[in-house]
Amino acid sequence: MSVVEPRAFSSKGGGTVTIRSAVEADAEQILRNLEDILPEPYNVTAPGEIAPSFEEEHAWIAAHREEPGRLAIVAEVDGRVVGLLDFQRGPRRRLHHRGAFGMSVTSPFRRRGIGDALVTTLLDWARAEPGIVKVCLAVYADNEAARRLYEKHGFVVEGRRLREIRLDDGTYADDVLMCRFVDP
């Protein structure tokens, strides 16, 4: 089972954020957050491109709780889910030592240390999860705030996919591949 114990972190500007495993009861809030986040820059998924049902989101959360090597954690402030991080281990034997994650924080709660708390929790979990050696991610090349956060946690650039993302206006963005090894 892939779960983490709830952890409280101090938020920049005051208050507390709790990082905990996502539970099926979070599905509605996660879906609402998805509607708000998709139109913003730095999303590979365009608005309207995916629209999971409540049942699909519920099943997605359950799979992350039940399957080893998968993790879904949320950031909660005053009972409201304001951030999500999901990690999935490589599906094949030769890729099973590594996994990739994606993360989002709703705009009113950014720059408060919530992303930092989510990544800290992921890395602590990955170090304790048997067989995970490498944690990976992809980030828009010009998303400097996200890149600084990942670098702060020891992630390094391991590659760049040129013109990987085609934006709605016809321009392109590069995707930067970053990783961090969690074992000594």
Percent of the chain topping pLDDT 70:
99
Domain residues for the domain of 46 are 7-137
Look at the alpha carbons of 134, 139, 143, 145 in this order and tell me if their dihedral is positive or negative.
negative
Instruction: Kindly tell me if the per-residue pLDDT of 1 is higher than 70.
Output: no
**Structural domain contains residue 1:** no
Query: 11-15, 60-64, 160-164, 166-170 — which one is most confidently predicted on average?
Result: 160-164
In this prediction the pTM is: 0.94
Query: 43-47, 48-52, 135-139 — which one is most confidently predicted on average?
Result: 135-139
**Structural domain contains residue 99:** yes
**Structural domain contains residue 133:** yes
Q: Mean pLDDT score of the chain, rounded to an integer?
A: 92
Between CA 148 and CA 33 the distance in angstroms is 24
Whole-number pLDDT of residue 40? 83
**Structural domain contains residue 14:** yes
CA angle 6, 136, 34 (to 5 degrees): 60
Among 6-15, 45-54, 87-96, whose mean pLDDT is lowest? 45-54
